[in-house]
Amino acid sequence: MLARDLLDALAGGDAVSGAALARKAGVTRAAVWKQIEALRLKGVPVEAKVGGGYRLPWPTELLDGQRIRAGLAPATSAQVGMLEVHWEIDSTSSEIARRIPVLDDLAFVMAETQSAGRGRRGRPWLSPPGMNLYLSVLKRFDGGFASLSGLSLAVGVMLVRALGELGIRTAGLKWPNDVLAGNAKLAGILVELSGEYSGPCAAVIGVGLNIRLPDSVHERAGQPITDLASIVGGDPPGRNHIATVVVTELAEGLRTFERHGFAAFADEYAANDLLRDVPLRILDPRGDFEAVGEGVDERGALRVRVADGSVVTVDSAEVSVRRSAP
Ligand code: ATP
Ligand code: BTN
């Protein structure tokens, strides 16, 4: 029995006895127990019921590539290259990066869990199975790296659109790559570029969207994080539906970005900019400083007003921004 099959058997949210799980999979109860432990180690809080049996604290839905594909509008589906769902992979972005030469444009890779999910500057992205969304997409561009400025901000707008479609209107954007809700991180965006500086190039765009976080992940994240279940205060939409909506917005948005660049997203970015007029601490390797958010420029660089009243732009990938403590 594989951990995936076990999670699938428990996905309904009802208690299932160890004997029934073993029978279904044709394995021993010891083998079931081993996989329960493996799921727990990956962060799935499988509960053991008094008198035997296991259950998840809430129902879930495993990702199904065919269902996600079938949910796409035909015109969108025609644009989307491959759409692959893995049980476990090191990182969906690494998987795309390894296959750039052979993948079609707008190829998507998703995974139920990542053993080496990463954020900016190699920080870990905690990726327990069966609860969140971890996906990456390949987008090719002809115009070189300069045509890609503002891409991670535009992807943020695409995610805000997707969340809006799912009924979530409280999410906003924290420059350069976070989607926050109620001051906590709901989703992260990782854009990695390769190819020619001024010719054909490719972006691998990774998105981690929290749908249901177990307590253990909250404890390990090191910053406030949140999920769709907390935002809606109950059961979030089904994971395959969420994936369909996110794939749709990314596929359509990335094609718009290819034609018009960040300009096509600037107004919506501004409308969702959580740093505008907010006192900030800019963590710059050349020296930290205090400033106030003044929006972003046409390239997507952050504009901030500094102590002497002048406005400077911040665009280094090395810079982090924190809201100043009140
Ligand atoms: P920056 O402002 O520099 O981007 P950041 O704290 O948002 O800083 P990132 O590298 O963008 O850092 O994202 C990685 C961080 O995200 C991790 O250090 C952790 O705090 C947090 N994190 C990890 N897993 C998750 C998750 N599943 N959901 C939300 N946040 C997570
Ligand atoms: C960040 O906030 O720094 C970005 C986090 C991006 C996480 C996603 S999960 C899918 C894809 N695969 C990864 O290893 N990272 C991105």
Q: Which ligand 1 atom minimizes the distance to the CA of 322?
A: 2
Q: What's the pLDDT score for residue 70?
A: 98
Maximum CA extent, the chain: 72
Q: Are 254 and 139 in contact (CB under 8 A)?
A: yes
Q: What's the pLDDT score for residue 197?
A: 84
Q: Is the pLDDT of residue 158 over 70?
A: yes
Looking at every residue in the chain, the average pLDDT score rounds to 95
Residue whose CA lies nearest to ligand 1 atom number 14: 119
Q: Which ligand 2 atom minimizes the distance to the CA of 207?
A: 8
Same domain, 229 and 316: no
Q: What's the pLDDT score for residue 167?
A: 96
Q: Of the residues 123, 134, 185, which should be mutated to test ligand 2's pocket, given the most ligand atoms within 8 Å of the CB?
A: 134
Q: What is the mean pLDDT of residues 39-66?
A: 93
292 strand-pairing partners: 279, 305
Q: Ligand 2 centroid vs 135 CA: distance in angstroms?
A: 8
Ligand index nearest the alpha carbon of residue 114: 2
pLDDT tens-place string over residues 164-222: 999 999 999 999 999 999 999 999 999 999 998 889 999 999 999 999 999 999 999 99
Same domain, 309 and 218: no
Active site residue 322: yes
Q: In whole angstroms, how large is the CA radius of gyration of the chain?
A: 21
90 is a domain residue: yes
Distance CA 326, CA 246 (A): 35
Same domain, 46 and 74: no
Same domain, 130 and 224: yes
Ligand index nearest the alpha carbon of residue 185: 1
Query: Which residue in 34, 55, 99, 120 is the catalytic one?
Result: 120
Same domain, 123 and 195: yes
Last residue of a domain, one of 271, 287, 307: 271
Q: What's the pLDDT score for residue 326?
A: 65
Same domain, 36 and 80: no
Around ligand 2, the residues with Cβ closer than 6 Å are 91-93, 114, 117-120, 125, 134-136, 177-178, 188-190, 206-208
Question: Which CATH number belongs to the domain containing residue 112 in this structure?
Answer: 3.30.930.10
Same domain, 31 and 104: no
Contacts of 144 (CB under 8 A, 6+ apart): 196, 197, 198, 199, 201
Q: Ligand 2 centroid vs 239 CA: distance in angstroms?
A: 18
60 is a domain residue: no
Ligand index nearest the alpha carbon of residue 152: 2
92 is a domain residue: yes
Q: Is the pLDDT of residue 30 over 60?
A: yes
203 strand-pairing partners: 139, 193
Residue numbers of the domain that contains 137: 65-271
Same domain, 206 and 266: yes
150 is a domain residue: yes
Backbone angles phi, psi at 243, to 5 degrees: -60, -40
CA distances from 30 to 72, 129, 239, 293 (A): 41, 22, 30, 57
267 is a domain residue: yes
Q: Is the pLDDT of residue 1 over 70?
A: no
Same domain, 226 and 96: yes
Residue whose CA lies nearest to ligand 1 atom number 3: 320
Q: Hey, what amino acid is at 185?
A: K
**Closest C-alpha to 134, from 177, 71, 188, 81:** 188
Distance CA 158, CA 263 (A): 14
Around ligand 1, the residues with Cβ closer than 6 Å are 119-121, 123, 125-126, 177-178, 185, 188, 208, 210, 217, 221-223, 225, 320-321
Distance CA 187, CA 133 (A): 9
Number of domains in the chain: 3
Q: What is the mean pLDDT of residues 128-144?
A: 96
Q: Which ligand 2 atom minimizes the distance to the CA of 123?
A: 3
Q: Which ligand 1 atom minimizes the distance to the CA of 225?
A: 29
Per-residue tokens: 84: 């692959």
Same domain, 79 and 22: no
SS3 90: coil
Question: Which CATH number belongs to the domain containing residue 294 in this structure?
Answer: 2.30.30.100
CA distances from 187 to 27, 38, 312 (A): 38, 26, 27
pLDDT tens-place string over residues 83-114: 999 999 999 999 999 999 999 999 999 999 99
Q: Is the pLDDT of residue 25 over 90?
A: no
Residue whose CA lies nearest to ligand 2 atom number 3: 119
Q: What is the mean pLDDT of residues 37-41?
A: 94
Q: What's the pLDDT score for residue 166?
A: 97
Q: Is the pLDDT of residue 52 over 70?
A: yes
89 strand-pairing partners: 114
Same domain, 99 and 234: yes
Same domain, 304 and 175: no
pLDDT tens-place string over residues 238-293: 999 999 999 999 999 999 999 999 999 999 999 999 999 999 999 998 899 999 99
Q: What's the pLDDT score for residue 113?
A: 97
Angle at 15 between CA 12 and CA 18, to 5 degrees: 115
Distance CA 266, CA 186 (A): 21
